[in-house]
Amino acid sequence: MAACLQWRRFVFFEREPVTEPGGPEGAGKPFALPPGIAVCDAGRGSLVLGDLEGHVWFLSRSLQLISFQAYKLRVTHLYQLKQHSILASVGEDEEGTNPLVKVWNLEKRDGGNPLCTRIFPAIPGNKPTVVSCLAVHENLNFMAIGFADGSVVLTEGDVTGDRHSKTQILHEGSYPVTGLAFRQSGKITHLFVVTTENIQSYRLSGKDYLRLELDTRGCGLRCSTLSDPSQDLQFIVAGNECVYLYQPEERGPCFAFEGQKLIVHWYRGYLIIVSKDRKTSPKSEFAGSKPWNSNKQILNVYDLRNEVIAYSSVFDDVVDVLAEWGSLYVLTRDGKIHVLQEKDTQTKLEALRLEKSIVMENKTLRNVKDENGLKNRIIRVGTRKSQLARIQTDSVVEMLRKRYLNLHFEIVAMSTTGDKILDTALSKIGEKSLFTKELENALERNEVDLVVHSLKDLPTLLPPGFTIGAICKRENPHDAVVFHPKNYGKTLNSLPEKSVVGTSSLRRAAQLKRRFPQLEFRDIRGNLNTRLKKLDEKEDFSAIILAAAGLRRMGWENRIGQILNPEDCLYAVGQGALAVEVRARDQEILDMVSALNDGETVLCCIAERAFMRHLEGGCSVPVAVNTMLKDSQLYLTGAVYSLDGSDSLKDTMQTSINYSQQNEEGSSDDAQYVGITAKNIPPHAQEAAETLGVELASLLLSKGAKHILSVARQLNDAR
């Protein structure tokens, strides 16, 4: 993940107000938009505006305004095709929830107005509901309409006329649809669908529309867009903390752009984001309320490829940002327009060269200071021999190399007990240090200086003399379903009854037996490569359950057929996070690795590990969690299950976490919280997270969790 706080900032655009083009009396006066503008788009040489009285306005480059009455009441959505003089709109001709879709041919006239070639009610399954978003394919053979009830209606065929087209409900869900985008690659058409809580892609080429869930995170209205070929036509989804990029079959990179996102667009290789300073969820402002208020709003222009902020400025109440005539136009609620014009290439290159020389000078000075205590020392990094472990370790070492340019790192790989025993379930061969003992022995003997682990492999109580010195930014912690090739496109719910699903985890099996009682769940051991080979080459399993993080790190995102959301399966303590274990008294190494700490991940994992430790759980009993840090509140959901999932306890607690990650040099506080020494995270925040985990565990214990876990442990030992 790239954090924009580390990105260089430039002024690659010039901002000017749009003024009246008139004579001496009008020249210099701010141009005023018509009142009541609610929706906007641009294309075919005009800015297209819709107002609350049903008018559609066209603003030309010479600032000439013309309009026509498109609806009797109001216009709610506009979509201007870029390659055709076709405009699609949604609006209302009568009170109530009765949205109408109208398609306009702007080159043909009907009584002086554009010709309306098609009109039909926007109602999914005869259930009146609010339209939330609209998208039209540039080849005019697809139109998608998203609704607040979670439906998506797809029109296929000639979208400009009623003949030679068919309309069907493509998608139904529980969450409001917030964004739609068509992606064309060769002859293959995909439709991205994002809701407040998840993201899907549909392959529209072929008889069956194959659906793939890409993620269990979503975004608010107007917070998604499609990039151009310079960024591989990726679907961009902007959440409060991060911006995520997606291909039709997998998630790509993400960027830590904080702040509540209001508007997201793509323009000539740049990502445009309008956001608020304060963090409040755009999902609460989904429909029926205005996502604008009197607060100042920040417009940032990001160059993702070069990792620079190309422009940043503050505006009042932005209505939208439109691209036309080679420039960006920012429309504000007070009726004004501001134009952002990109500077010439030579000016930008000179600014980049100057900044680069300054950065290199500062970096050299910083590295001399950081590496003074470790100079002439080879840093040996321990890891398991498995392919996934090596990939994870390589990623951590690469982060350290980028920060400490003059240090030398050597990777030492070794086999662990868990790697050697491949024919027995993990829960049957002991729960402590299966994948860590040999590595910790090497650390104790000074054969290595640090060890990289999957955090979920580390016990909550470490051997004396060791500590977790860093926890890196967490990957997706959820579990994923990989299907046998014959079941491509299915979900667990759509598998035939009695289908066999493989998993090596008691936690997964217990939850999924409870959620999908029609399926059978069996043990499957081996590393990722081995388990996938067993799935593909035999008919023993219809699907297997694996950690999404591991699949993504291996580059096998395309094998993910379904991401299990928290309603289906809570994840394991520490899942998706990488931990760096060091000798607790090796201050130089501890200081070095502390720069890798990700504050949010650290606090979430402290809460999870405290919950696990207080329950005295482990891999021999089904214990599961889900955590989230949002708006200075840390939420922890924890659960315990019987082996068959028939008995369970689950609850959620939260606590206030007010912190800002301290400077990268760290502090002198070496306090441990459930085996973690996070020197650059304030102790009071770590203590609050640990207390949350203990209190939630105590709550479940008071309700009978000890009995459930005791029975589960006895039954597992007897198997």
pLDDT tens track for 104-162: 999 999 988 999 999 999 988 777 889 999 999 999 999 999 999 999 999 999 999 88
pLDDT average, residue stretch 479-485: 94
Q: Which of 241-250, 323-332, 409-418 shows the lowest mean pLDDT across its residues?
A: 409-418
User: Percentage of the chain surpassing pLDDT 70?
Assistant: 87
Confirm if 708 and 676 have CB atoms less than 8 A apart: no
pLDDT reported for residue 418: 54
| pLDDT bracket for residue 258 (50, 70, 90) | confident
Other C-beta atoms lying within 10 Å of the C-beta of residue 48 = 23
Sign of CA dihedral 171, 174, 177, 182: negative
Q: Are 66 and 55 in contact (CB under 8 A)?
A: no
Q: Which among 380, 366, 440, 448 is positioned nearest to 410, based on CA atoms?
A: 380
Residue 585: partners with Cβ closer than 8 Å, 6 or more residues away: 465
Question: Is the separation of the CB atoms in 301 and 7 below 8 Å?
Answer: no
Higher pLDDT, 639 or 617: 639
| pLDDT on residue 374 | 67
Please tell me the distance from the alpha carbon of residue 310 to that of residue 301, in angstroms, as a whole number.
Answer: 5
CA pair distance 375, 447, nearest whole angstrom:
18
pLDDT tens sequence across 65-85: 999 999 999 999 999 999 999
Does residue 165 have a pLDDT over 70?
Answer: yes
Please tell me the least confidently modeled range out of 11-25, 223-237, 560-574.
11-25
Average pLDDT for 200-207: 90
Report which residue type is found at 560.
I
Distance CA 625, CA 617 (A): 12
pLDDT for residue 431? 46
Q: Which residue has the tokens 């482990």?
A: 618
Percent of the chain surpassing pLDDT 90: 65
**Mean of the per-residue pLDDT values for the chain?**
87
Q: Which of 114, 20, 113, 16 is nearest to 63 (CA)?
A: 20
Which of 177-181, 288-292, 379-383 comes out lowest in average pLDDT? 288-292
Distance CA 711, CA 647 (A): 11
In whole angstroms, what is the distance from residue 709 CA to residue 719 CA? 15
For residue 272, give every residue at least 6 positions away whose Cβ sits within 8 Å of its Cβ, in sequence order, or none: 263, 264, 265, 266, 299, 300, 301, 302, 321, 328
Cα–Cα distance, 622 to 713 (Å, whole number): 9
- Hey, what are 396's tokens? 């951590």
Q: How far is CA 549 from CA 85, 165, 240, 391, 542, in A?
A: 45, 42, 21, 12, 21
- Strand-pair partners of 238: 243
Using H for helix, E for strand and C for coil, what is the string for 155-171? EEECCCCCCCEEEEEEE
- CB-based contacts of 170: which residues, under 8 Å, 6+ apart? 144, 152, 153, 154, 191, 202, 209
Residue pointed to by tokens 């009197």: 294
Q: Check residue 105 and give its pLDDT.
A: 97
Please give the backbone phi and psi of residue 196, each rounded to the nearest 5 degrees, phi first. -70, -15
Which DSSP string corresponds to 433-486? STTTHHHHHHHHTTS-SEEEEEGGGS-SSPPTTEEEEEEPPP---SEEEEE-GG
Looking only at the bridges linking them, the beta strands covering 177-185 and 466-471 are unpaired
The structure tokens listed for 118 are: 């098609």
Nearest in space to 571 (alpha carbons), one of 526, 605, 523: 605
Encode burial over 124-143: b for 16+ CB neighbours within 10 A, e otherwise. beeeebbbbbbbbbeebbbb
Residues forming the active site: 457
| Both structure tokens of 521 | 């769940």
Segment among 311-315, 340-344, 358-362, 428-432 with least mean pLDDT: 428-432
Collect all residues with Cβ–Cβ distance below 8 Å to 280 and sequence separation of at least 6: 260, 631
What is the tens place of the pLDDT at every residue in 582-631? 999 999 999 999 999 999 999 999 999 999 999 987 667 899 999 999 98
Q: What is the pTM of this model?
A: 0.54
Question: Model confidence at 22, in pLDDT bands (50, 70, 90)?
Answer: low
**Model confidence band, residue 719 (pLDDT cutoffs 50, 70, 90):** low
pLDDT at 145: 97
